[in-house]
Structures are given as structure tokens and as C-alpha cells.
């Protein structure tokens, strides 16, 4: 019986070593979208006005040329610009980094990023003015994308 167990021990040990050494797949790329809070606008209904989302940021992984894109757009004629705050976990200094759009409703900005596959970016969108900076109480939720 001892000989039988000994003959099984070697193949079993080799099998375990092979399974343990198998690489796990890289994290799957994932796009993400963030919206900022609602700001007051009376352009669509001058007599009453309403609150609308002030802007959006989109992270698109794998654009096709091996890069990623972070896009920011102002979607409300409310007198605010928008700012995207982001943390890049592929860099030695993860941030925060910022980018702004301050030309009014419909204005957009795109940044091309070069991120290694599987690394993450965390970002959110907030209303912004040059006079007062970021309105943090109206920021949207943090979202995460993966290159």
C-alpha cells in the first residue's frame, strides 16, 4: 500500500504545481459614465425653470488604437462649467487630476490616455466656475473604469 501511495504522490504534486502556476486572465476592460448633480436652469422653461444634470464624463477603454479616452461635456445652460476629477492608478502619482469645460452648454473636451491594460481610473463630474472653483456639494458619484 505504501508503494501505491508513493507512486501517486509524485504525479499529484506535479499536477498541483502546474495548476498553481497557471496565470489568471487580465482584468476585463470596462467603460464608465459619470454625471454631476442637478443645477438650476430656466432656459427651457423661463417662467418656472427646473433642475437638470449639469454634465457628463465618459471613459472609453480600447478606442481601437490601443488608447483610452476620457470625454467631458456640459449639458446644461445653467451658468456653470463642468470639471472632471480623476485618479489614475497606472501612474506613480495617482492624482487627483482635473479637466474642465467652461464654454457653456454643448461644449466638450476629449483627452486621449495611454493606460496599461487592466489598470483603473476613478472619476466624477462636478459643476465648476473660475470664480468659485468646484462645487463639491453638487458632484456626482465616483465611478471606475478599467483600461
Dihedrals phi, psi of 65, to nearest 5 degrees: -110, 15
pLDDT at 48 over 90: no
CB 57 within 8 A of CB 72: yes
CB 135 within 8 A of CB 127: yes
DSSP, res 80: -
Query: pLDDT tens digit string along 65-88?
Result: 989 999 999 998 888 999 999 999
Q: Which carries the bigger pLDDT value, residue 34 or residue 7?
A: 34
The confidence band for 44, taking pLDDT boundaries of 50, 70 and 90, is low
Cell representation of residue 80: 456653470
Q: Domain 25-146's class?
A: mainly beta
The confidence band for 35, taking pLDDT boundaries of 50, 70 and 90, is very high
Rounded distance, CA 63 to CA 52, Å?
30
Q: Where are the domains of the chain?
A: 25-146
Query: pLDDT tens digit string along 83-115?
Result: 999 999 999 999 999 999 999 999 999 999 999
CA proximity to 37, closest of 87, 75, 71, 69: 75
The confidence band for 10, taking pLDDT boundaries of 50, 70 and 90, is very low
Confidence at residue 79, expressed as pLDDT on a 0 to 100 scale: 87
Rounded distance, CA 11 to CA 1, Å?
17
Rounded distance, CA 76 to CA 81, Å?
9
Residue with cell 508503494: 3
Amino acid at each position: 500500500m505504501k508503494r501505491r501511495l508513493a507512486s501517486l504522490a509524485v504525479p499529484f504534486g506535479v499536477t498541483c504545481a502546474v495548476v498553481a502556476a497557471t496565470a489568471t486572465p487580465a482584468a476585463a476592460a470596462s467603460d464608465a459614465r459619470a454625471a454631476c448633480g442637478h443645477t438650476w436652469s430656466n432656459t427651457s422653461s423661463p417662467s418656472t425653470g427646473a433642475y437638470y444634470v449639469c454634465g457628463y464624463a465618459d471613459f472609453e477603454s480600447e478606442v481601437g488604437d490601443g488608447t483610452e479616452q476620457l470625454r467631458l461635456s456640459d449639458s446644461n445652460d445653467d451658468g456653470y462649467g463642468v470639471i472632471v476629477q480623476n485618479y489614475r492608478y497606472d501612474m506613480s502619482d495617482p492624482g487627483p487630476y482635473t479637466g474642465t469645460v467652461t464654454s457653456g452648454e454643448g461644449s466638450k473636451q476629449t483627452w486621449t490616455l495611454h493606460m496599461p491594460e487592466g489598470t483603473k481610473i476613478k472619476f466624477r463630474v462636478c459643476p465648476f466656475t473660475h470664480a468659485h472653483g468646484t462645487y463639491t456639494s453638487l458632484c456626482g458619484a465616483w465611478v471606475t473604469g478599467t483600461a
